[in-house]
Amino acid sequence: MVPLALLQLSCFFLLASSSAGGSAPDNDQHNRLMLDRFHRWMAFHGRSYPNDDEKLRRFEVYRHNVEYIERTNRDGGLGYQLGENDFTDLTSEEFAARYIGGLIANNDSKVISEGYVADVGKNDPSKLKIPPPPKKVDWRKEHAVTPAKDQGKCGSCWAFAAVATVESAHYIANGKLLNLSEQEILDCDRNDQYGCEGGFPDRALQWIWDYDGIMTEDSYGPYVGEQQACDLSRRAYNYLVTIESVWSIPASEEALKLAVSRQPVAVTIEANVNMQFYNNTSGIYTGPCATLVNHAVVVVGYGRDAVSGVDYWIVKNSWGSKWGHNGFFLMRRGADGPRGLCGIVSTQGVYPLVSVIL
């Protein structure tokens, strides 16, 4: 059971039912056009249903969501566009059930041991004699980021965020991009972690350090979206990626930018109501959102839009490749005060250092 003293937060907040409200025009022509559109959507996303009743129910959900998307875009209040994606036939409750329950807020710095964590906060980057970070960075273009993965119906965003930083750190140190095992972390890291009910990205990195590494997915076994019995017996004859230290950074966008210029960083955000319908045409996500973080993601770059001049973060999510821009999204940078948009710097970001293999 999660202690009451800890703040249990979700890997995704539900889309409020009222947000997709509005009744469809009651005429045959509209229904025929919408049904044709639904069939095209089904074909594009490879969707099928077990019977006609379920298909009809999904059609009504789809129509409800499409009308919300179009109404929101027509009102123009967001500054970016919503669109259809792989989740357009899901109700808000179903979407919440799939992605809820994965981040526990960790405001106790004592859980990070001085023995293996070097705190960048003790050395203000603005006071160090180091070159300024480049104007733009995209670790995807350096082939240092694995494709976006899908946490499924499990609140394991904390494990996905931690593992993604290790994958990238290993590539940067050794030039080899490996697909590491979130399932091993989910099964075996039980030090104040709660499996599909939530966890801490920094404690996941601590587990990897404490247990001398993490296995690849091929070695440990595929991700199944639920916590199973931990099996470390395979470590005896499989390669492990080890980390030599874990770093936290000050809760500021300048510090995050400096850190991301060196490697991807795990952060926390508040996932909000419009993220269900963010897709590859949506542009830069600008909110609205608060700073009550409920979801762990990884910042893999930053830049500035050449047309609008808006600064942004490049963020890797864990909702699969059919969401956003192949599983990634752009998020406004330098907005909403010292905590950043959606609280992206309301807590300290973390990343590991990986040893160079000689």
9 has pLDDT over 70 = no
pLDDT at 122: 45
Confidence band for 156, pLDDT divided at 50, 70 and 90 = very high
pLDDT at 100: 53
pLDDT at 261: 97
Confidence band for 358, pLDDT divided at 50, 70 and 90 = low
13 has pLDDT over 80 = no
pLDDT at 176: 96
Tokens describing residue 51: 């019977």
Tell me if residue 193 falls in helix, strand or coil: coil
Mean pLDDT of 52-63: 97
Confidence band for 6, pLDDT divided at 50, 70 and 90 = very low
Mean pLDDT of 244-264: 94
Confidence band for 49, pLDDT divided at 50, 70 and 90 = very high
Mean pLDDT of 250-264: 95
Q: How far apart are CA 328 and CA 347, in angstroms?
A: 21
Active centre residues (catalytic) = 157, 295, 317
Residue (of 315, 279, 298) closest to 350 by Cα position: 298
Percent of the chain with pLDDT over 70: 83
Tokens describing residue 61: 């959900």
pLDDT at 102: 63
312 has pLDDT over 50 = yes
pLDDT at 271: 84
Residue (of 111, 169, 109, 174) closest to 145 by Cα position: 169
Mean pLDDT of 187-195: 91
Mean pLDDT of 75-93: 89
112 has pLDDT over 80 = no
- Whether the CA torsion 314, 320, 322, 326 is positive or negative: it is positive
pLDDT higher at 106 or 29? 29
Q: How far apart are CA 21 and CA 271, in angstroms?
A: 20
115 has pLDDT over 50 = no
Q: How far apart are CA 233 and CA 231, in angstroms?
A: 6
Longest CA pairwise span in the chain (Å): 70
Residue (of 212, 83, 197, 117) closest to 151 by Cα position: 197
Tokens describing residue 260: 């991301």
Residue environment code for 150-170, b if the CB has 16+ CB neighbours within 10 A, otherwise e: bbbebbbbbbbbbbbbbbbbb
pLDDT at 26: 58
Alpha helix segments (H runs only) across the chain: 28-45, 52-75, 92-99, 157-174, 182-188, 201-210, 217-220, 253-260
